[in-house]
Amino acid sequence: MQIIRHDRQGYPDSVAEQESLVAQVLCEEAKSTLILTEHPPLYTIGTSGRESDVLSRQVDGESIAVYPSGRGGEVTYHGPGQLICYVIADLRNDQDLHRHVHRLEEMAIRTLADFGIHAARDPRGIGVWVEGKKIAAVGVRCRKWITFHGIALNINPNLRHFSGIVPCGMSDAPVTSMRALGSNASRDEVEQSIRQHSAIFTSETSSYA
């Protein structure tokens, strides 16, 4: 799996990059890719989301842009201090989107464990949770069995920005971050762990399937 890293990237540019990679994978001109990036403050509305779930575009003194998104899921927040992991994966020989989502979650769960944080799935919804609070949101899209979009892991974002939305359609689902849980891990450190655990998408002998 090739890895592309950006310090920060506008959301439209990010979507365009993913669309280009999906087309290249379909044409056998590129291989599966992990994109590690960060966005300026913004809200995205997934295919199951509603405009009414954006409660305010002015939060904590900042103006937050809103973008429609072709990914699955509802409304979520992206911003500085959050590591975005977009996975362009070829599922043509493994046509199981549910398994792909679980692998995204597992990558984050294993990464968080490296920093002493016990995270897990929760029956309330997809994503990664710590003691009833969501620490990573998942949203994917699939085109001809090539996936894109992915998972957003909260390292140290401004958690007040989540108050401007109904996150993932759940008004009673508070969010948390690695910093809020006592970890001072840097983005570089988290990325190093994510890179290691991204092998779950390519290893045929992975213990998780």
| CA–CA dist 52, 8 (Å, integer) | 28
Q: Which residue has the tokens 């890719």?
A: 33
Catalytic-role residue among 27, 85, 142, 168: 168
| CA–CA dist 191, 178 (Å, integer) | 13
| CA–CA dist 76, 84 (Å, integer) | 12
| CA–CA dist 163, 175 (Å, integer) | 10
Active site residue 27: no
What does DSSP assign to residue 172?
Answer: T
| CA end-to-end distance (rounded Å), the chain | 17
Q: Find the length of the chain.
A: 209
Residues acting as catalytic residues = 168
